[in-house]
Chains A and B, each alone.
Chain A
Amino acid sequence: MNIPRRLIWGLATLGSLLLACGLGPFLLSDTGDGDPLHSALLPPLTRVTLLELTDGRTLIAPKVTRDGGVFRVEGPKGTSSISEDEVAAQRETRLWLGSDRFGRDVLRRLLVGGRISLAVAALGVTIALLVGLGVGLAAATGGRVADAVLMRTVDGLLAFPLLMLLILLSALFRPGPALLVAVLGLSSWMGLARLVRGQVLSLRTRSFIQAARVAGTRWPRMWTLHYLPNLKAPVAQDTALQMGNLVLAEATLSFLGLGIPATLPSWGGMVAQGQRVMLDGWWLSLVPGLAIATLVISLALIGDGLQQTSKASA
C-alpha cells in the first residue's frame, strides 16, 4: 500500500514530540528551579554554570568565578557569594531556549508542559471517542425514538461554540487537570457521534453487509468483521483532527488562566506568562506558541493522511 507523505510527516513529527517530552527531561541536566537574581531572562543558547549546593538546591548563573574559598555568582540582576563548603559540584551547561523571568529553564518547562498538554488532549479525546462511538452506535441501532432524541441532542450541543462552552464551564467550576480532561472530552464528542451514526447507516445499505445479513451472520461477528473494520478509517481521521482541536482548546483555557493551574507548566500558560514580558524576552512566548502549532499541525497532517488512505482504498 502507498502511504501518503502527509501521514508519514505527521506521524514522524508527533513521534518526535512524544519522544522529546517523554525522555527529554531525563537527558537534560537538572537546572533546578532557578532564581530571579542569578538566571532571569537569559536568552536562548546562553552558557551557564550550574552549582549543586550541599543543601540539595541547584544554582544556575551565566558567570561564576572562584575567588579563594568563595564562589562569586553573577547573574543579570545581581551578584552573590557562596562559600566553597556549600558547593557540592560544579558543571557547565547550556540553556538551549533561555530562561523565563523567574530564572527557570524554558526548554525543561516546555518538555514537562508538553507531557501535560499531550496527556490532557489524549485523555480528553479518548473520552470523546468512547462517548461519540457509544452515542453514534446507539443512535444508529437503537430504533427511531432513541435516534431522534440522541441526534437532536447532538444538534443542540453542536450549536454552542465549543470554546465558549469550555470557557463558561471552566470559569464556573475552576477544574483541576482531571476535571479539565472530563470537560474537554464531554464537550467534543458530538461530531464523532454524528460521523459514526452516518457511517453505520450508510454501511447498512451496502451490498456486502446485506449479503452477510442474508447469510444469517450473528451480530458479534457482524460487528467485529463487517462494521468496525469499515468504521476504523473515518473515525481515526476525525479523532486526529479532534485531538488537535483539544490541544488548542486546552492551550486557550490555560492562556486565559482557566485550564492547567499556573503551578504546573503548560504551553498555553507559558505563552500567557511570556506575553507579559514580551519586550524583555521575545523567546518566552514565541517558543511555546511554536510548540503548540507543531503539535496541532502534526495531528492535522495525520488526519489528512488517513483521509487520503481511506479515499484511495474506497
Chain B
Amino acid sequence: MNTLKVLLRKEFLQIFRDRFILRIMFLVPIIQLLILPLAATYEMKNISLSVVDNDHSTYSQKLINKFTASGYFKLTDYSATHVQGLHAIEKNQADIILEIPLNFEKILINESKAQLMINANAIDGSKAGLASSYAGTIINNFNAEIRETLIQSSKMNASPSVEVTYSTWFNPTLNYPTFMVPGIMVTLLSLVGGFLAALNIVSEKEKGTIEQINVTPVKKTTFIISKIIPFLVIGMIIFTIGLFISRIVYGIVTVGSYATLYVFAIVFLIALLGLGLLISTYCDTQQQAMFIAFFFMIIAILLSGEFTPITSMPPWAQVITKFNPLSYFVEVMRLVMLKGSKLTDVATQFFSICAFGIVLNTWAVLNYKKTS
C-alpha cells in the first residue's frame, strides 16, 4: 500500500511538472467541446438552390416562392439556362437546381399534368436525398394547392384519408448539439485515456527510467495501478467539466442520474486506460505507441455510432461494434443523459464495459515484463 502511495506521488509529480501537457490535457477538451458540437450537424437549413425558370408564369413564381419560404432552401441565383445551372453546381454555388420547363403553367392546365426537373449534387448522398425529399414535399403541397384552385374542392374530400400526427420525444426541437455533445465527451475521454496512457509506459522505456522501476521490488499490478489512477483522476475532472459545459452552454439537462453516468465513466476509462497500457507494453518507442493507439482509436471512434448510426452498418461492422467499448459508452451516455435510462436498462452495456476493463487490464499486467 505504501509502495502504491509513493508511486502515485511520482506519477502526479511527473504530470504536474510538464505544464504544457497539463494545459493541453484540460484546455483542448474544453475548447473542442465548445466548438465541435456546433460544427457537427447534419441539420440541413441552407441548401443552395439555383432556379432555371423557363416559364416565367404566375405558377412558376408561386412554386419558387414556396421553395424559398420553406426555410430549407436558400435561393442563390437564377440561371438563364440548364447549362448555366450545371455550372453553378460544378462551382459549388448550388446544391440543387430546380428547372421549370417552358409553358409549365399552360401544360399543367391543358394536359392536366406537368413535369419539373430537379438536379441534385449527390456527392454528399444523404444531403442530396434529404434535399430532394424536401423538394418533393414542397412540390406536393404546391400541387395540392393548385388542384384545389383548379377543381372546386368538393370532390376531393370524398376519399378516405389518414391523418398523421407527429411527436418527437426527448429532444423536441431536434437540436443537433444535444445529440452530439454526449458522444463528443466520450471521444475526448477516450483520447485522454487511450493516448496518454499508451505513451506513458513507453516514454519511460524510451528514456530508460523503466529500468529503475524494474530493479525495485514493486509488483507489476501495483505499477499498472499507479499508472491508471492519475489518468483516472484527470479523466474524471475532464468529464465533470464536460458535464458542466453541456449543462451551461448547450442547456442539456441530464435526465438520468449522475451517479449512473459517473459509474459508467469510471469503468469505461479504466477499460480504455487498460487498452492504452496494453499498447504501451507492446511498443518500444513513443512513435510506435502513438501510431498504434491512433489506429485503434480512429476505428473505434468511427465505429462507435457517434457520427453515423450503427443500425445502418453492414452486419460485419455491427459485429465489430460489439467489441468496441466506445460504442457501448456512446449509447449509454445518450440514453442516460437524454432519455433518463436507469442502470437496470443499460445493464448489458455495463457488464460489457466491465468485461473490457478486466480483460484489457489483466492482459496489460501480464504483458508488462520486468525482465527483458
**Is chain B a partner of chain A in the same complex?**
no
| Interface positions of A (Cβ within 8 A of B) | none
